[in-house]
Amino acid sequence: MVGLTAYSESVKARAKELLDAGENYPAVARKLGVWRSTVSRWHPGYEGESKIGNKRSDHEDIIQAFHDGLSDKDIAKRFGMKQKTVQKFRTRNGLYRGEPGSPPKVTEEGKADMLALLDEGYSYRAVGEMTGHTEQTVAKHFPGRGYTPEQTAEAAVLARKANKIYRKLAQDAA
């Protein structure tokens, strides 16, 4: 039996104790110095399993943690899995949320603000900057309301002229 290691019953019993105490497979494996797969072979389908099992209770616990407002990182830590696994689970189960740093969702009030700015003649980009959204988001909600290529060129010329006047005024004031 080259390459195979026989573990004593006391090591297997210690693994069960740790699992009963709420540890997951990776944590037990690290503490005992064995492979995670070895621990899972000793105690298959154990409630503290590190991956999302087919058990409905596992799914419900993760969904509940999501609804409780836990981040993917916190859920992964709690259930002993990778953050990417949690993200895939959420996607497969239709659980979506804006991650930190993502643009805010467009509300009806936000759409009204965008429309008012577009009616005043602002570009998609300018409206996006003023409302905290991307140019693409504004264009998606109001197709055909953006500048034509000719209007874009005219706006650029006017902006350069305005900047030139501003610099002149700043120099005169100094």
Whether the pTM exceeds 0.85: the reply is no
Give per-residue pLDDT as tens, 34-44: 887 888 788 76
5 pLDDT tier (thresholds 50, 70, 90) = low
Res 3 pLDDT > 50: no
Rounded to the nearest integer, the mean pLDDT of the chain is: 80
In this prediction, residue 49 carries a pLDDT of: 43
Res 164 pLDDT > 90: yes
In this prediction, residue 102 carries a pLDDT of: 55
114 pLDDT tier (thresholds 50, 70, 90) = very high
Give per-residue pLDDT as tens, 69-88: 888 888 888 888 888 888 88
Burial of 15 (0-12, 13-18, 19+ CB in 10 A): buried
Res 50 pLDDT > 60: no
In this prediction, residue 67 carries a pLDDT of: 81
CA-wise closest residue to 90 among 76, 77, 101, 107? 76
Most confident of 7-11, 82-86, 113-117: 113-117
Q: Which two tokens stand for residue 65?
A: 């943690």
In this prediction, residue 15 carries a pLDDT of: 87
